[in-house]
Amino acid sequence: MTSAQPGLVIEDAGLLTTVQDTGRWGYQHYGVSVSGAMDMAAHRRANRLIGNPPEAATLEITLVGPSLRFETAMRVAVAGAAFELTLDASEVSTDTVLHAHPGQRLAFGRRTAGARAYLAAAGGFTVVPVLGSRSTHLRSGMGGLEGRALRAGDRLTVGPALGVPRREPGAARWRRRLPAGGARVRLLPGPHAGLFDPAALRRLETGRYTIRPESDRMGYRLDGQPIPGPDGLSLLSQGLPLGAVQVLPSGGVIVAMADRQTAGGYPRVATVVTADIPVLGQLAPGDWMEFERCDLQTARRALLDSGRGREST
């Protein structure tokens, strides 16, 4: 097992700060949710900035950020949502390597764009892995630090720093891609689209939806035009992928996110393309969402382009 060393102390946990990594894959057939970062691109970027592997655990910071104190000298980086940051009394930037000294405090201030930021520390945060992942799944109390969100007084350790920090231009380009109050995302047709009247599905593509307040890491519930389905529709539960767009009996719409259940019985009329999932991860309750249908070739090209963009930024 990798030796751990002192890392940092949480002084104020913010609204919702959890330990996340690339997810708990390979156990969905046992009913275990994948979890992982809501914006995987930002999680990977933060790790890449300081030389960590992509799977190293980061802190996912949602809407209101924490304040923390370093117990040892360490390299850290913050990527994703744009927050005002101070290291002691000095203003510092996201999307760059920060060199913290013992006793220094990093405080997250006003959020100016996006919804979730990721704090990576050289060596990664070394909470005990569960089924091969350090990700926190809040509903089951699995992973992370005792299966819960972080709170004041928590201490986190880190592993030995192995990688070399990277100098990466492009922070301004990254910030411009953050959604401002909402976003338009692309869809592929789902396995149950053919059960719905085409006119009903056109509502999905022409309407604007708003993320409801009760939305969370499990899924986004949307307010907007209802999608009427066929009377008496009954389906067996099927596997539920990330970004699945489900229609409730009421006509309401849900988009499945990182902590989604492994199977669901609501009709799945579409799936958000993989390249646009990080965009969803930067949306907050009250933000709007619009959908645009695309074909498989477009979705594949978008995924390739997003990968090239991550490598260049």
Bridge partners, 293 (sequence order) = 187
Comparing 113-127, 208-222, 299-313, the range with the smallest average pLDDT is: 299-313
Which pLDDT value is given to residue 313? 40
Q: Of 80 and 3, which is predicted with more confidence?
A: 80
Q: Are strands 90-92 and 208-211 parallel, antiparallel or unpaired?
A: unpaired
Query: What whole-number distance in Å separates Cα of residue 238 and Cα of residue 219?
Result: 16
Which pLDDT value is given to residue 241? 96
Give me the domains of the chain, ranges plus CATH numbers.
5-158 (no CATH), 182-309 (2.40.100.10)
Give the H or E element holding residue 279: helix 277-281
Bridge partners, 183 (sequence order) = 289
Q: Which residues contact 39 (CB under 8 A, 6 or more apart)?
A: 80, 116, 118, 278, 281, 282
Task: Give whole-number Cα distances, 302 to 217, 277, 288, 310, in Å.
Answer: 24, 11, 22, 12
Residue of 67, 94, 101, 92 whose CA lies nearest to 80: 94
Tens-place pLDDT, residues 162-179 = 777 666 555 555 555 788
**% of the chain at pLDDT higher than 90:** 85
pTM of the predicted model, to two decimals?
0.93
Tens-place pLDDT, residues 226-277 = 999 888 788 889 999 999 999 999 999 999 999 999 999 999 999 999 999 9
Task: Using DSSP, state whether 269 is helix, strand or coil.
Answer: strand
